[in-house]
Amino acid sequence: MAEPRRRVAEPRAGRLNRGMSRPQAIGIALACTAALTACTQAQSTSAEELFAPYALERETVDAELAQQAVATGASIYIAAPMLTSGTQAVIELSADLEPLTLVDVSGASVGALAETGGELAFIDRSCISDNGGYTFCSRTGVVSTDGVVVDEPTRELDLDSHALAYDADGAGFWGVRYASTPCDGSVHACTLAPEDEPLDFVYDCQVVHVRDGEAVWEWSALEHTDPAMLDAAVTTEIYNPVDPFHCNSAQPDEASGLVYVSMRHPSSVLAIELGSGDVRWTFGIDRSPAALAVDDPDGLLGDRQILSGNHDFRWLGGTRYSVFDNGSGDVGAARAIVFSVADGTATIENVIEDPAGVSSRCTGSARPLDADEAFWVIDWGCSASGMSVMTAAGEPVAHLTLDYERAVEMDLLMDTAADQPDVGSTVTYHAVVAAPDLLAR
């Protein structure tokens, strides 16, 4: 197998993302890792040395499959470690998880990543909650070999750091926010709290489309979802009364007039009509009239709950979709589910499980590396499994993990992560498949 290109990128003159206004550099420039004496030596630096300052470890499981994966030409982007107290890198990886380009972004608190206009964009985790679960005034930005540039005015949109998807022209993007909503008799979610722990407010899930710095479309889960969705959610171990929805991904399909949204706590994904805001269909544990019937001809789902704590609902084109099922609450092993939708029915096409057989408490993603979907990169989220390249048949190709004990010794993790091994083991919020060399443009 040919040795992939590998470098710590040198600083260069950067470009600003289209559609950003009054960008502001935050003073985080690329620095060589401690293992290097000069950036020019990076070509001969091993993956182990590049990963060491971030407590990351890589393993090839099957060299032949790894070579086939690399032949797809796919590039994978991560921001790691995810739950960091400061130290963090944005890394371009080859399809066998070898580092190609590494940019130190320590202090930037990078959350979700997205490609736009030949650049790698992100939304940061500013204004993070005490438990690290959500944010309230995140900013978008871009990362390159110069470091990080943020669009400071986007702070005023009150966005969360879980979701970012750009319009084709780069002048707009989709995100989510957790909006505090006072409890009264009209808010069904408030009635689901324990009687001895009444709520003063709940967090609504709001999906937001921003164009030229202004919110031009907003959708409220409290206003548009059937109460039956939360009635089912409240019976599960992972339900959180104050945060009943917890949206974690949003992806538009404007040609079909839909936006696809994942909700962790209802353990369901939704297709929402852009015109009316109505929920066209749902897939998961929801039992509202919008819920799809499920056809699993090969019994791939098993006898467990369909979704539990899901993340990263992706439209694959046409009427095909994937979703990362965390299996939260020890429902079962974390897995990627691929399904198609027709005539009110979701037909299960493929399921790829974590070969370690463990569930994932939070975060995570699943994305195909190639058009044939022969290889997938799956971020197992809050799990010691880290992230993997897998075949569609469920064979592991390579793994990238975070050495939790070493990360704690190095003081890399925020307090809530350092105290919990599964949460602290998170490599990245999600792994994004995008065009090569985005960090070097």
Per-residue model confidence (pLDDT) at position 18: 33
CA 340, distance to chain mean position in Å, is: 21
Give the model confidence (pLDDT) of 209-250 as tens digits.
999 999 999 999 999 999 999 999 999 999 999 999 999 999
CA-wise closest residue to 266 among 303, 299, 290, 240: 240
CA-wise closest residue to 353 among 295, 318, 304, 400: 304
Whether the pLDDT of residue 263 is over 70: the answer is yes
**Which residue type occupies 277?**
G
Give the model confidence (pLDDT) of 380-419 as tens digits.
999 999 999 999 999 999 999 999 999 999 999 999 999 9
- The label of the residue with tokens 């022209």 reads 169
- Sign, CA dihedral 125-126-127-128, equals positive
CA-wise closest residue to 320 among 363, 274, 364, 372: 372
Q: Would strands 7-8 and 99-104 be described as parallel, antiparallel, or unpaired?
A: parallel
Strands (E), 183-332: 201-211, 214-220, 247-253, 258-263, 268-273, 279-284, 293-295, 311-317, 320-325
For the domain made up of 7-440, the CATH class stated in words is mainly beta
Q: Looking only at Cα atoms, what is the longest distance across the chain?
A: 65
d(CA 124, CA 428): 13
3-state helix/strand/coil string of 148-208: EEEEHHHHHHCECCCCCEECCCCCEEEEEEEEEEECCCCCHHHHHCCCCCCCCEEEEEEEE
Point out the least confidently predicted range of 128-137, 256-265, 378-387, 416-425.
Answer: 128-137
Q: In what order do the strands lie in the sheet with 140-144?
A: 23-25, 147-151, 140-144, 119-124, 110-116
Given a contact cutoff of 8 angstroms between Cβ atoms, the answer to whether 123 and 159 are in contact is yes
Of the pLDDT bands very low, low, confident and very high (cuts 50, 70, 90), residue 43 is low
Cα Rg for the chain, rounded, in angstroms? 21
CA atoms within 13 A on the CB side of 394: 15
Give the model confidence (pLDDT) of 171-216 as tens digits.
999 999 999 999 998 999 999 999 999 999 999 999 999 999 999 9
Give the model confidence (pLDDT) of 90-115 as tens digits.
999 999 999 999 999 999 999 999 99
Per-residue model confidence (pLDDT) at position 44: 64
Of the pLDDT bands very low, low, confident and very high (cuts 50, 70, 90), residue 131 is confident
Of residues 7 and 298, the one with the higher pLDDT is: 298
Ordered by start, the domain boundaries in the chain are 7-440
Tokens standing for residue 166: 């750009």
Given a contact cutoff of 8 angstroms between Cβ atoms, the answer to whether 259 and 221 are in contact is no
d(CA 70, CA 375): 10
Residue 125 burial by Cβ neighbours in a 10 Å radius (0-12, 13-18, 19+): buried
